[in-house]
Amino acid sequence: MTWSTADIPDLTGRRALVTGATSGLGYETALELLRHGAEVLVAARNPEKAARAAQQLERSSGHKPTVVELDLADLVSVEKAADELTKSYDRLDLLVNNAGVMAPPYRQTVDGFELQLGTNHLGHFALTGRLLPLLLKATAPRVVTVSSFVHKTVRGITQEDFRRPASSYRKWEAYGKSKLANLLFMLELDRRARAAGVNLLSAGAHPGYASTHLQAAGPEMAGQAFMVRFMGIGNRLFAQSAAAGAWPSLYAATVPELRPGSYVGPGFFEFRGRPKIVLPTQTAQDPELAGRLWEWSIEATGVNPELTVLR
Protein backbone atom coordinates (compact mmCIF):
# COMPACT_ATOMS: atom_id res chain seq x y z
CA MET A 1 0.00 0.00 0.00
CA THR A 2 1.38 3.40 -0.98
CA TRP A 3 -1.04 5.58 0.98
CA SER A 4 0.30 8.86 2.34
CA THR A 5 -1.19 11.93 3.96
CA ALA A 6 -1.35 13.44 0.46
CA ASP A 7 -4.21 11.00 -0.17
CA ILE A 8 -6.36 12.48 2.58
CA PRO A 9 -9.38 14.04 0.86
CA ASP A 10 -10.59 17.58 1.38
CA LEU A 11 -12.17 17.64 4.83
CA THR A 12 -13.72 21.09 4.60
CA GLY A 13 -17.01 21.14 6.49
CA ARG A 14 -16.12 18.19 8.74
CA ARG A 15 -15.73 18.68 12.48
CA ALA A 16 -13.34 16.39 14.39
CA LEU A 17 -12.51 15.91 18.06
CA VAL A 18 -9.12 14.36 18.89
CA THR A 19 -8.32 13.34 22.46
CA GLY A 20 -4.77 13.64 23.72
CA ALA A 21 -3.88 16.10 20.98
CA THR A 22 -1.22 18.14 22.79
CA SER A 23 1.69 15.93 21.67
CA GLY A 24 2.64 12.74 19.91
CA LEU A 25 0.13 10.83 17.81
CA GLY A 26 -2.80 13.03 18.77
CA TYR A 27 -0.96 16.21 17.83
CA GLU A 28 0.10 14.79 14.45
CA THR A 29 -3.43 13.52 13.79
CA ALA A 30 -4.93 16.92 14.60
CA LEU A 31 -2.31 18.66 12.44
CA GLU A 32 -3.09 16.67 9.30
CA LEU A 33 -6.84 17.02 9.81
CA LEU A 34 -6.38 20.79 10.06
CA ARG A 35 -4.14 20.88 6.99
CA HIS A 36 -6.87 19.15 4.99
CA GLY A 37 -9.58 21.58 5.98
CA ALA A 38 -11.32 20.00 8.97
CA GLU A 39 -12.50 22.00 11.94
CA VAL A 40 -10.57 20.40 14.79
CA LEU A 41 -11.30 20.33 18.51
CA VAL A 42 -8.28 19.31 20.59
CA ALA A 43 -9.16 17.71 23.91
CA ALA A 44 -6.67 17.63 26.77
CA ARG A 45 -6.63 17.76 30.56
CA ASN A 46 -3.93 20.42 30.92
CA PRO A 47 -5.30 23.81 29.73
CA GLU A 48 -1.89 25.48 29.52
CA LYS A 49 -0.35 22.65 27.54
CA ALA A 50 -3.42 22.51 25.31
CA ALA A 51 -3.19 26.24 24.61
CA ARG A 52 0.48 25.93 23.62
CA ALA A 53 -0.29 22.97 21.36
CA ALA A 54 -3.15 24.89 19.76
CA GLN A 55 -0.82 27.77 18.95
CA GLN A 56 1.71 25.39 17.42
CA LEU A 57 -1.01 23.67 15.40
CA GLU A 58 -2.22 27.00 14.06
CA ARG A 59 1.29 28.08 13.08
CA SER A 60 1.95 24.78 11.32
CA SER A 61 -1.41 24.40 9.56
CA GLY A 62 -2.68 27.93 9.10
CA HIS A 63 -5.91 26.93 10.82
CA LYS A 64 -6.87 27.51 14.43
CA PRO A 65 -8.14 24.56 16.47
CA THR A 66 -10.49 24.84 19.44
CA VAL A 67 -9.37 23.62 22.86
CA VAL A 68 -11.68 21.37 24.89
CA GLU A 69 -10.77 20.69 28.51
CA LEU A 70 -11.12 16.98 29.18
CA ASP A 71 -9.69 14.62 31.78
CA LEU A 72 -10.51 11.05 30.77
CA ALA A 73 -9.52 9.85 34.26
CA ASP A 74 -12.43 11.81 35.74
CA LEU A 75 -15.95 10.85 34.66
CA VAL A 76 -17.34 14.19 35.86
CA SER A 77 -14.88 15.94 33.53
CA VAL A 78 -16.01 13.67 30.68
CA GLU A 79 -19.65 14.54 31.36
CA LYS A 80 -18.89 18.27 31.58
CA ALA A 81 -16.93 18.27 28.32
CA ALA A 82 -19.64 16.33 26.49
CA ASP A 83 -22.35 18.66 27.81
CA GLU A 84 -20.41 21.74 26.67
CA LEU A 85 -19.83 20.25 23.25
CA THR A 86 -23.50 19.34 22.91
CA LYS A 87 -24.50 22.92 23.77
CA SER A 88 -21.93 24.47 21.42
CA TYR A 89 -22.22 22.33 18.28
CA ASP A 90 -24.95 20.92 16.09
CA ARG A 91 -23.02 17.79 15.13
CA LEU A 92 -19.68 15.96 15.31
CA ASP A 93 -18.38 14.20 12.21
CA LEU A 94 -15.31 12.46 13.62
CA LEU A 95 -14.16 11.35 17.06
CA VAL A 96 -10.59 10.06 17.44
CA ASN A 97 -10.18 8.27 20.77
CA ASN A 98 -6.42 8.67 20.92
CA ALA A 99 -5.38 9.71 24.44
CA GLY A 100 -3.84 7.17 26.76
CA VAL A 101 -1.36 6.28 29.46
CA MET A 102 1.15 3.44 29.20
CA ALA A 103 2.72 1.32 31.94
CA PRO A 104 2.72 3.83 34.83
CA PRO A 105 3.25 2.87 38.46
CA TYR A 106 0.01 1.90 40.17
CA ARG A 107 -2.48 4.76 40.19
CA GLN A 108 -6.24 5.09 40.33
CA THR A 109 -8.54 7.45 38.48
CA VAL A 110 -10.68 9.98 40.33
CA ASP A 111 -13.44 7.36 40.33
CA GLY A 112 -11.28 4.59 41.78
CA PHE A 113 -10.50 2.60 38.64
CA GLU A 114 -7.04 1.29 37.75
CA LEU A 115 -5.56 4.21 35.82
CA GLN A 116 -4.88 2.54 32.47
CA LEU A 117 -8.23 0.81 32.07
CA GLY A 118 -9.97 3.81 33.59
CA THR A 119 -8.39 6.28 31.20
CA ASN A 120 -7.72 4.33 28.01
CA HIS A 121 -11.02 2.45 27.93
CA LEU A 122 -13.64 3.68 30.41
CA GLY A 123 -12.97 7.37 29.79
CA HIS A 124 -13.31 6.90 26.04
CA PHE A 125 -16.34 4.62 26.44
CA ALA A 126 -18.10 7.32 28.46
CA LEU A 127 -17.03 10.10 26.10
CA THR A 128 -18.16 8.22 23.00
CA GLY A 129 -21.47 7.31 24.62
CA ARG A 130 -22.17 10.88 25.64
CA LEU A 131 -21.22 12.23 22.19
CA LEU A 132 -23.25 9.72 20.19
CA PRO A 133 -26.22 12.12 19.84
CA LEU A 134 -23.89 14.68 18.22
CA LEU A 135 -22.22 12.06 16.06
CA LEU A 136 -25.52 10.65 14.83
CA LYS A 137 -26.56 14.11 13.62
CA ALA A 138 -23.70 14.06 11.11
CA THR A 139 -24.10 12.71 7.59
CA ALA A 140 -21.26 10.18 7.78
CA PRO A 141 -20.01 10.03 11.38
CA ARG A 142 -16.92 8.05 12.27
CA VAL A 143 -15.30 6.93 15.53
CA VAL A 144 -11.65 5.85 15.48
CA THR A 145 -10.30 4.15 18.61
CA VAL A 146 -6.53 3.83 18.97
CA SER A 147 -5.23 0.52 20.31
CA SER A 148 -1.79 -1.11 20.34
CA PHE A 149 -0.10 -4.33 19.21
CA VAL A 150 0.42 -4.90 22.95
CA HIS A 151 -3.21 -6.10 23.02
CA LYS A 152 -1.76 -9.35 21.63
CA THR A 153 0.05 -10.04 24.91
CA VAL A 154 -3.11 -10.65 26.97
CA ARG A 155 -5.75 -13.34 26.67
CA GLY A 156 -8.74 -11.76 28.32
CA ILE A 157 -10.24 -9.17 30.61
CA THR A 158 -12.58 -9.33 33.60
CA GLN A 159 -14.75 -6.86 35.42
CA GLU A 160 -12.42 -7.17 38.40
CA ASP A 161 -9.60 -5.67 36.31
CA PHE A 162 -11.34 -2.28 36.47
CA ARG A 163 -10.58 -1.97 40.19
CA ARG A 164 -7.56 -4.24 40.46
CA PRO A 165 -5.64 -3.50 43.70
CA ALA A 166 -2.01 -2.47 43.83
CA SER A 167 -1.02 -5.86 45.28
CA SER A 168 -1.80 -7.68 42.01
CA TYR A 169 -0.99 -4.86 39.58
CA ARG A 170 1.35 -5.59 36.66
CA LYS A 171 1.75 -2.47 34.58
CA TRP A 172 2.30 -4.05 31.17
CA GLU A 173 -0.50 -6.56 31.65
CA ALA A 174 -2.84 -3.72 32.62
CA TYR A 175 -1.77 -1.75 29.56
CA GLY A 176 -2.38 -4.74 27.31
CA LYS A 177 -5.83 -5.23 28.81
CA SER A 178 -6.70 -1.57 28.29
CA LYS A 179 -5.71 -1.87 24.62
CA LEU A 180 -7.66 -5.12 24.29
CA ALA A 181 -10.64 -3.27 25.76
CA ASN A 182 -10.23 -0.55 23.12
CA LEU A 183 -10.57 -3.13 20.35
CA LEU A 184 -13.43 -5.01 21.97
CA PHE A 185 -15.24 -1.68 22.34
CA MET A 186 -14.49 -0.60 18.76
CA LEU A 187 -15.83 -3.83 17.29
CA GLU A 188 -18.87 -3.94 19.57
CA LEU A 189 -19.73 -0.35 18.63
CA ASP A 190 -19.56 -1.41 14.99
CA ARG A 191 -21.82 -4.42 15.60
CA ARG A 192 -24.37 -2.34 17.50
CA ALA A 193 -24.34 0.46 14.94
CA ARG A 194 -25.05 -1.98 12.11
CA ALA A 195 -27.74 -3.75 14.13
CA ALA A 196 -29.41 -0.40 14.85
CA GLY A 197 -29.22 0.58 11.19
CA VAL A 198 -27.40 3.85 11.88
CA ASN A 199 -24.79 5.34 9.59
CA LEU A 200 -21.91 5.28 12.08
CA LEU A 201 -18.53 3.84 11.11
CA SER A 202 -16.44 2.47 13.96
CA ALA A 203 -12.81 1.65 13.18
CA GLY A 204 -9.56 1.06 15.04
CA ALA A 205 -5.89 1.85 14.55
CA HIS A 206 -2.53 1.29 16.15
CA PRO A 207 0.76 3.15 15.56
CA GLY A 208 3.26 0.31 15.72
CA TYR A 209 6.40 1.52 17.46
CA ALA A 210 6.31 5.30 17.26
CA SER A 211 8.53 7.77 19.08
CA THR A 212 6.35 9.75 21.48
CA HIS A 213 6.47 10.87 25.10
CA LEU A 214 4.21 7.94 25.99
CA GLN A 215 7.17 5.61 26.48
CA ALA A 216 8.83 7.92 29.01
CA ALA A 217 5.70 9.02 30.87
CA GLY A 218 5.42 5.89 33.02
CA PRO A 219 9.08 5.88 34.13
CA GLU A 220 8.84 9.62 34.82
CA MET A 221 5.86 9.02 37.11
CA ALA A 222 7.89 6.35 38.92
CA GLY A 223 10.98 8.55 39.17
CA GLN A 224 13.03 6.07 37.11
CA ALA A 225 15.59 8.32 35.43
CA PHE A 226 17.51 5.39 33.92
CA MET A 227 14.39 3.98 32.26
CA VAL A 228 13.52 7.42 30.89
CA ARG A 229 16.95 7.56 29.22
CA PHE A 230 16.67 3.93 28.07
CA MET A 231 13.29 4.57 26.45
CA GLY A 232 14.68 7.65 24.76
CA ILE A 233 17.56 5.68 23.27
CA GLY A 234 15.15 2.99 22.06
CA ASN A 235 12.97 5.60 20.41
CA ARG A 236 15.92 7.16 18.60
CA LEU A 237 17.29 3.83 17.39
CA PHE A 238 14.19 1.84 16.47
CA ALA A 239 10.97 3.86 16.46
CA GLN A 240 9.37 5.64 13.57
CA SER A 241 8.34 9.26 14.00
CA ALA A 242 5.15 10.32 15.74
CA ALA A 243 3.97 11.69 12.38
CA ALA A 244 4.37 8.23 10.80
CA GLY A 245 2.78 6.64 13.86
CA ALA A 246 -0.32 8.75 13.22
CA TRP A 247 -0.76 7.43 9.68
CA PRO A 248 -2.95 4.45 10.69
CA SER A 249 -5.24 6.74 12.70
CA LEU A 250 -5.48 9.17 9.81
CA TYR A 251 -6.12 6.35 7.34
CA ALA A 252 -8.91 5.00 9.57
CA ALA A 253 -10.31 8.49 10.00
CA THR A 254 -10.34 9.66 6.40
CA VAL A 255 -10.31 6.89 3.77
CA PRO A 256 -13.77 7.15 2.18
CA GLU A 257 -14.13 3.47 1.25
CA LEU A 258 -13.01 2.07 4.62
CA ARG A 259 -15.07 -0.92 5.73
CA PRO A 260 -16.80 -0.61 9.13
CA GLY A 261 -14.95 -2.45 11.86
CA SER A 262 -11.58 -2.15 10.11
CA TYR A 263 -8.38 -2.16 12.15
CA VAL A 264 -5.41 -0.31 10.65
CA GLY A 265 -1.72 -0.64 11.55
CA PRO A 266 1.73 -0.16 10.01
CA GLY A 267 2.58 -2.39 7.07
CA PHE A 268 6.04 -3.68 8.05
CA PHE A 269 5.25 -6.48 10.53
CA GLU A 270 2.86 -4.00 12.21
CA PHE A 271 5.99 -2.26 13.49
CA ARG A 272 6.45 0.67 11.16
CA GLY A 273 5.66 1.92 7.66
CA ARG A 274 2.64 2.72 5.53
CA PRO A 275 -0.76 1.79 6.93
CA LYS A 276 -2.69 -1.32 5.99
CA ILE A 277 -5.64 -3.34 7.30
CA VAL A 278 -4.45 -5.70 10.05
CA LEU A 279 -6.17 -8.27 12.25
CA PRO A 280 -6.90 -8.10 15.98
CA THR A 281 -6.46 -11.26 18.03
CA GLN A 282 -9.26 -13.78 18.27
CA THR A 283 -9.88 -12.60 21.82
CA ALA A 284 -10.38 -9.04 20.59
CA GLN A 285 -12.90 -10.34 18.04
CA ASP A 286 -14.91 -12.32 20.62
CA PRO A 287 -18.48 -10.88 20.51
CA GLU A 288 -19.49 -12.50 23.80
CA LEU A 289 -16.57 -10.94 25.66
CA ALA A 290 -17.23 -7.63 23.94
CA GLY A 291 -20.86 -7.73 25.02
CA ARG A 292 -19.87 -8.41 28.62
CA LEU A 293 -17.31 -5.59 28.54
CA TRP A 294 -19.99 -3.24 27.19
CA GLU A 295 -22.30 -4.06 30.10
CA TRP A 296 -19.47 -3.79 32.67
CA SER A 297 -18.56 -0.41 31.21
CA ILE A 298 -22.13 0.84 31.49
CA GLU A 299 -22.18 -0.23 35.13
CA ALA A 300 -18.80 1.41 35.81
CA THR A 301 -19.44 4.73 34.06
CA GLY A 302 -23.20 5.16 34.32
CA VAL A 303 -23.23 5.85 30.56
CA ASN A 304 -25.41 3.71 28.30
CA PRO A 305 -24.58 4.52 24.66
CA GLU A 306 -27.80 4.97 22.70
CA LEU A 307 -27.55 4.30 18.98
CA THR A 308 -30.69 6.19 18.01
CA VAL A 309 -30.80 8.85 15.31
CA LEU A 310 -32.09 12.16 16.67
CA ARG A 311 -32.91 14.79 14.05
For 109-129, what is each residue's pLDDT tens digit? 999 999 999 999 999 999 999
Exposed, middle or buried: residue 9 (CB in 10 Å: 0-12, 13-18, 19+)? exposed
Long-range contacts of 279-287 (CB under 8 A, 24+ apart): 280/147, 280/151, 280/183, 280/187, 280/204, 281/151, 281/152, 281/180, 283/154, 283/155, 283/156, 283/180, 284/151, 284/180, 284/183, 284/184, 284/187, 285/187, 286/184, 287/187, 287/188, 287/191
Average pLDDT over residues 38-49: 95
Instruction: Domain count for the chain, please give it.
Output: 1
Average pLDDT over residues 80-88: 98
- In this prediction, residue 1 has a pLDDT band, given cuts at 50, 70 and 90, of low
Q: Which domain holds residue 159?
A: 10-210+244-300
- Name the pTM for this structure: 0.90
Lowest mean pLDDT segment, chosen from 40-49, 182-191, 206-215, 279-288: 206-215
CATH number of domain containing 193: 3.40.50.720
Just list the catalytic residues. Answer: 175
In 3D space, the residue among 153, 161, 141, 180 whose CA is nearest the CA of residue 263 turns out to be: 180
Q: Is residue 230 part of a domain?
A: no
Q: Is residue 239 part of a domain?
A: no
Q: Is residue 228 part of a domain?
A: no
What residues contact 41, with CB distance under 8 A and at least 6 apart?
Answer: 15, 16, 17, 18, 65, 66, 67, 68, 85
Q: Is residue 164 part of a domain?
A: yes
302 or 268, higher pLDDT: 302
Q: Is residue 72 part of a domain?
A: yes
Q: Is residue 147 part of a domain?
A: yes
pLDDT at 170 over 60: yes
CA 65 to chain centroid, in Å, comes to 18
Q: What is the pLDDT of residues 236-266, one digit of tens each?
A: 535 578 899 999 999 999 999 999 999 999 9
Q: Is residue 235 part of a domain?
A: no
Q: Is residue 34 part of a domain?
A: yes
What phi, psi does 255 have (nearest 5°)? -65, 120
Average pLDDT of every residue of the chain: 91
- In this prediction, residue 152 has a pLDDT band, given cuts at 50, 70 and 90, of very high
- Report the alpha-carbon angle 38-44-46, nearest 5: 140
